[in-house]
Amino acid sequence: MSINVQSCLIIGGGISGLIAGNILQKKGKIVTILDKGRGIGGRLATRRIHDSDQITGVFDYGMQFFTVTDPLFQEWVDQWLLEGVITEWPNQLSEGQTPCYRGKNSNRSLGQYLAENLEIHRQTRAVSLKSHDSGWTVETETGQSFQADSLMLTPPVPQSLSLLETSNLALPSLIKSRLEEVTYYPCLTLLALLEGSSLIAEPGWLTPKDSPVAAIACNQKKGISPQGCAVTIHSTPEFSEAYWDRDQAVIAETLLNAASNWLGSTVLDYQVHRWRYSHPKTVYGEELLVLENPGLLVFAGDAFSDAPANNIHLTLEKAVLSGIKAANYLLH
Ligand SMILES: Cc1cc2nc3c(=O)[nH]c(=O)nc-3n(C[C@H](O)[C@H](O)[C@H](O)COP(=O)(O)OP(=O)(O)OC[C@H]3O[C@@H](n4cnc5c(N)ncnc54)[C@H](O)[C@@H]3O)c2cc1C
């Protein structure tokens, strides 16, 4: 039986929401995306740090690169390559997965490309979801309200659950407990702007062993930060948990010490970003979750997968596939 959806409100402008939005809009549906962030793309995140001498460092500080296993995702990837939005990044992965892809100008630019023709409201945090006869009304923290006949939730699952709870929307108990079992790794990430070049070898990516540092990327060698040597240091989940509440100066000092062999230059400036939900530790177990009561509600995002969460570089693929699945459900 078809469900005849005309419009969809998507909470979250990360890759899953953007992919779903593109598919729905191409089929003539009215799509509105709300995102609490300043930039678009969610965990496809890029930031600039300017030093006092006007040197700018460009940092990809969320997802670093992704790999592809699914032919459906490969079709999107081929199109992005053709359009020059992404490029290969020749990292050697121990798992033997190749190729590795990243945003050509930055990872955020992939999000911006996908956002081009969509109606997106940035810095717009959804705080209340209300279902009624003709669909959903979503209210935001600035008092705006948006309506559509279907709703898609794409934030990390704990954030979606808390939004449902503050909206007094009860989920069937089995589904609620399965959603509560979805967990994510935290990741403390250090963005360090260096005075000179880093010692990280081409292509600008390494994963130290026995260190609080899980991975280091040199954004200059990567080609996205020509002016300043911008180094992104991702810490391990163990370090992130242990140091989560520590002062940022302590986090920075510990990570800079651990990474000192690969820096080789004075740190001009740094910032710490705390990713509470970096990538899933446990997934929902299915690519699609749809609730028809009290209104049509679809979940999407990197936790909606039936594949185990054992490879970080396949996480973006999960988010994309779940966005495709969620959109296709609303189109059937
Ligand atoms: C440090 C780090 C490293 C990573 N490395 C890799 C990697 O190497 N390879 C890989 O494949 N993947 C990696 N990932 C994971 C990958 O980035 C994610 O799987 C993917 O980007 C998730 O997309 P998404 O759309 O599911 O969620 P998100 O990108 O999180 O999008 C959800 C959006 O919802 C918005 N939102 C939340 N609550 C609200 C609200 N109430 N109102 C409005 N908006 C709201 C958020 O602002 C966000 O933009 C990494 C992630 C991090 C953080």
Domain extents in the chain: 7-38+122-181+283-331, 184-279
If you take atom 21 of ligand 1, which residue's CA is the nearest one? 43
Residue range 249-303, pLDDT digits in tens: 999 999 999 999 999 999 999 999 999 999 999 999 999 999 999 999 999 999 9
pTM for the complete prediction?
Answer: 0.97
User: Is the model's pLDDT at 53 over the cut of 80?
Assistant: no
Parallel, antiparallel or unpaired: strands 101-103 and 56-60: unpaired
Residue range 288-325, pLDDT digits in tens: 999 999 999 999 999 999 988 888 999 999 999 999 99
Q: State the architecture of 184-279 in CATH terms.
A: Alpha-Beta Complex (3.90)
Q: Which long-range contacts (CB under 8 A, 24 or more apart) does 321-324 make?
A: 321/70, 321/72, 321/73, 321/287, 322/16, 322/287, 322/288, 323/15, 323/16, 323/17, 323/18, 323/19, 323/20, 323/23, 323/154, 324/19, 324/20, 324/23, 324/72
Q: State the architecture of 7-38+122-181+283-331 in CATH terms.
A: 3-Layer(bba) Sandwich (3.50)
Closest ligand 1 atom number to CA of residue 156: 30
Closest ligand 1 atom number to CA of residue 300: 26
Q: What is the pLDDT of residue 60?
A: 98
Average pLDDT, the chain: 96
Ligand 1 pocket: which residues have CB below 6 Å? 11-17, 34-37, 42-44, 62-66, 125-126, 154-156, 159, 163, 187, 189, 234, 275, 278-279, 301-302, 312-316, 319
Ligand 1 pocket mutation, candidates 43, 153, 219, 288, criterion most atoms within 8 A of CB: 43
Contact yes or no for 209/217 (Cβ under 8 A):
no
